[in-house]
């Protein structure tokens, strides 16, 4: 009878808890290492100079050049500048991604004609009568009434604000010639040509001295030209008023011996129907002229 009974097999399964051999300790260890790394970073910073501390602070507290361009000039202009930089100066793209925007911008090295126009409009658009950006030259024209009282070299209430904004444009320039013209018409002063010339010189001295005081680089040269001009009338019969004209032109050779890069433009009159990307593709796909 015993031979006919079924064989019963009992299988025991033992579940061993993670304990000291599980994986939870890895999370705690990772948190510990992160805290230690942060501690040693703080200790390293404590021993650094004030300049290093400020640079580290600026890196984490200010937007990069790319972020600044996106927020101020929009997606289209920023992408245009990126495309132009990729074609001409690929390393600049990487530099712009990591460089904080608290540095003084060099308008002559912005690369994109449209970005420069947008930046100029932001600075001097409220008082300039004309702005031109072409090739390697930036030109700003300011009517005399904005900066000086008619027929005199006395500054207006706007003078200080205008000078501050002009300094924001010129102070970061490198390897650039700045030409300042001070034009005064005889009919706007009492005393004729001689008096007009004296007023033009006084105005020029005031503008040039203010610009020169804020220049950050010795590779920038200032040139001035006071002019007393014969009365001229516009097409509608009104007399033409005097002008402060500022021309910034890149030097033929940069300090490092390289040639300057002219302002580029992805969007042209012939390609207005295309978006930025397609303009870029068309530009790089065209064979270069020999």
pLDDT digits (tens, 9 = 90+) for 89-100: 665 555 655 555
Question: pLDDT band for position 128 (50/70/90)?
Answer: very high
- For the residues 49-70, what does the mean pLDDT come to? 61
Check residue 119 and give left, alpha or beta (phi > 0: left; psi -120 to 50: alpha).
Answer: alpha
Least confidently predicted of 32-36, 134-138, 191-195, 201-205:
32-36
* φ/ψ of residue 281, rounded to 5: -60, -45
Domain limits of the chain? 25-61, 112-250
Instruction: Name residue, tokens 């804020």.
Output: 214
Residue bearing the bigger pLDDT, 164 or 191 = 164
Nearest to 129 by CA among 112, 111, 120: 120
Contact 201, 244 (CB under 8 A): no
Averaged pLDDT of the chain: 76
Cα 196 from chain centroid (whole Å):
37
Question: pLDDT band for position 69 (50/70/90)?
Answer: low
Please tell me the distance from the alpha carbon of residue 125 to that of residue 117, in angstroms, as a whole number.
10
For 112-250, CATH gives: 3.30.1330.60
Query: What torsion do the CA atoms of 271, 272, 274, 275 make, to the nearest 10 degrees?
Result: 120
Least confidently predicted of 203-207, 214-218, 272-276:
272-276
Angle formed by the axes of helices 65-88 and 113-124, nearest 10°: 150
Instruction: Name residue, tokens 């500054």.
Output: 155
Q: Give residue-wise pLDDT tens across range 257-281.
A: 888 878 877 654 445 555 544 555 5
């Amino acid at each position: 009878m015993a031979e006919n009974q079924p064989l019963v097999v009992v299988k025991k399964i033992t579940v061993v808890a993670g304990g000291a051999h599980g994986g939870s300790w890895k999370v705690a260890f990772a948190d510990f290492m992160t805290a230690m790394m942060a501690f040693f970073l703080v200790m390293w910073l404590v021993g650094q100079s004030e300049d290093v501390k400020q640079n580290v602070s600026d890196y984490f507290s200010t937007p990069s050049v790319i972020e600044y361009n996106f927020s101020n000039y929009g997606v289209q202009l920023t992408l245009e500048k990126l495309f132009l930089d990729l074609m001409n100066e690929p390393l600049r793209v990487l530099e712009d991604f990591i460089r904080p925007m608290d540095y003084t911008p060099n308008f002559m090295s912005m690369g994109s004609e449209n970005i420069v126009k947008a930046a100029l409009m932001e600075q001097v658009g409220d008082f300039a009568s004309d702005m031109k950006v072409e090739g390697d030259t930036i030109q700003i024209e300011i009517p005399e009434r904005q900066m000086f009282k008619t027929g005199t070299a006395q500054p207006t209430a706007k003078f200080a604000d205008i000078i501050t904004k002009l300094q924001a444009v010129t102070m970061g320039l490198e390897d650039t010639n700045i030409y300042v013209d001070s034009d005064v018409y005889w009919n706007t002063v009492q005393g004729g040509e001689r008096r007009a010339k004296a007023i033009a010189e006084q105005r020029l001295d005031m503008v040039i001295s203010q610009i020169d005081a804020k220049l950050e680089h010795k590779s920038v040269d200032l040139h001035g030209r006071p002019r007393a001009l014969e009365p001229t009338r516009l097409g509608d019969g009104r007399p033409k008023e005097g002008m402060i004209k500022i021309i910034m032109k890149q030097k033929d050779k940069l300090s490092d011996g390289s040639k300057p890069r002219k302002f580029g433009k992805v969007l042209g009159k012939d390609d207005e129907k295309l978006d930025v990307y397609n303009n870029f593709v068309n530009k790089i796909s065209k064979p270069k002229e020999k």
